[in-house]
Amino acid sequence: MISRKNSGKCSSPGSSVHGNHHLLSLDFTAICSKDLFPSKVSVLVFVLYMGLFINQGILVTASRRGGDSYSYSTTTVVLLTEVVKLVASLLLYFSTSSQRSLVRDIVLHYKLFIHYLVPAALYSVYNNLSFLNLVSFDPTTYFLFLQFRVVVTGLSYQCVFRRTLSKRQWVSLIILTVGCIIKNMGVVATKEGASESFMNRLVESIASIQLLFIIVQIFCSSLAGVYCEFLLKRLSKGEEVDLHFQNICMYFDSIVCNGFLLSVHAAFSQNPVETQMVTWKSITEVGKPLVLLLILNNSAVGIVTAFFLKTFNSILKTFASALELMFTAVLCWLIFGIPIDYATVVAIFVVSYAILLYAQNPIKNEHVVTSGSSTAPLFMNEEGS
């Protein structure tokens, strides 16, 4: 049977919107409650969730070894990560079903492989751009800009699912946008030969090619997420499909998409690391402990994210995003000596305030629950989202 249910035990996200509360006021009782961490396991999930996401940006930055490029093929790393996820999905599928069941599901639901090509392609671009953008930006700046996904997702939901955004949601999205612009103005100001004019720095920060890549990555993430939900709700109207089988479809398609990107890189890239992917040197580079740890960390991100979404609600997820920004800034300062300038401090507080304000009244995401299935995919396909 298919049913709808609310995840999480915190108080209603929209409860603080009605009444006499000001649009900019925060009601922390809507974010935290005595049931926030119902068990020791939930505390472990929360810590792992934050730790793995923070670790992702730090590992990618550390793998450059202080340079401005990678000694390994980043597309190969993304491809291997998807292979690990596919193997895990197959093992979990076979823990409850037989090989004959897999053949039957492939025959009955072969169209799923076509449907999941869209989000798989979008996530492939997203994951590959994450390496490119972490060359241009430090992890703190990178994760701060990624919070802009809230804006794009909000607009996408309003268009696709025809959900009208409230005044508080619009205010929080505007504040978040301002916070991202403040941070990028700080990035532009630190560049050699940067203009001293405030307006010139504002224009440069908005028109930079690095910011364009971030925006493309954000749109890929947001549109893929909305498409997956749209696809899931369309599937819910028909015959029930095993959740692990859906993951198999997703990661098989992801491997195909990343294989295509790998061949394109080999044909057109000027980087010898990407054009000579099958040499012994390139294989040994991918096999180095730090790179292997990066692959395992990115795979674990998806597993823990699923447990997080099952254990907590979307309010705590946005609260964790704010904490991640602060911890990332401090750790990058301690590990890499990346300075925490005034723009970073101001932007972190502005963006954290915006996402906490948004958490008071988020877009309500109705979960479709099938019998014997989790409310969320077991693996998220974004790495370091």
Determine the pLDDT at residue 19.
46
Query: Who wins on pLDDT, 36 or 130?
Result: 130
Query: Who wins on pLDDT, 54 or 238?
Result: 54
Determine the pLDDT at residue 40.
75
**In this structure, are residues 18 and 29 in contact, taking their beta carbons and an 8 Å threshold?**
no
Determine the pLDDT at residue 174.
82
Helix (H, G, I), strand (E, B) or coil at 363: coil
The answer to whether residue 217 scores a pLDDT higher than 80 is yes
The answer to whether residue 197 scores a pLDDT higher than 80 is no
The answer to whether residue 115 scores a pLDDT higher than 60 is yes
For residue 172, the number of C-alpha atoms closer than 13 Å in the C-beta half-sphere is 30
Query: What are phi and psi for residue 166, nearest 5 degrees?
Result: -80, 170
In the structure, what pLDDT confidence band is assigned to residue 9 with cuts at 50, 70 and 90? very low
Tokens 């909305």 correspond to 226
Determine the pLDDT at residue 364.
56
- Mean pLDDT on 186-202: 55
The answer to whether residue 85 scores a pLDDT higher than 60 is yes
Element (H, E) at 2: strand 2-5
The answer to whether residue 137 scores a pLDDT higher than 80 is yes
The answer to whether residue 6 scores a pLDDT higher than 50 is no
**In this structure, are residues 330 and 112 in contact, taking their beta carbons and an 8 Å threshold?**
no
Determine the pLDDT at residue 227.
81
CB atoms within 10 A of CB 274: 22
Instruction: Return the sign of the alpha-carbon dihedral for residues 214, 217, 223, 226.
Output: negative
Determine the pLDDT at residue 276.
54
Q: What is the pLDDT of residues 239-292, one digit of tens each?
A: 577 778 888 998 999 999 999 988 887 766 655 555 555 555 666 778 888 999
* Helix ranges restricted to H, the chain: 40-62, 74-94, 99-108, 111-115, 117-136, 139-146, 149-160, 167-189, 198-207, 209-235, 243-268, 272-275, 280-286, 289-311, 314-336, 342-359
Lowest mean pLDDT among 54-58, 94-98, 326-330, 358-362: 358-362
Determine the pLDDT at residue 30.
52
Query: pTM surpassing 0.95?
Result: no
Determine the pLDDT at residue 4.
39
The answer to whether residue 136 scores a pLDDT higher than 70 is yes
Q: In terms of Cα–Cα distance, which of 218, 186, 219 is closest to 205?
A: 186
Tokens 């993951």 correspond to 247
Determine the pLDDT at residue 82.
92
- How far separated are the first and last CA of the chain, in Å rounded? 32
**In this structure, are residues 221 and 126 in contact, taking their beta carbons and an 8 Å threshold?**
yes
The answer to whether residue 369 scores a pLDDT higher than 80 is no
**In this structure, are residues 348 and 303 in contact, taking their beta carbons and an 8 Å threshold?**
no
Determine the pLDDT at residue 184.
66
Determine the pLDDT at residue 14.
43
In the structure, what pLDDT confidence band is assigned to residue 233 with cuts at 50, 70 and 90? low
Burial of 202 (0-12, 13-18, 19+ CB in 10 A): middle
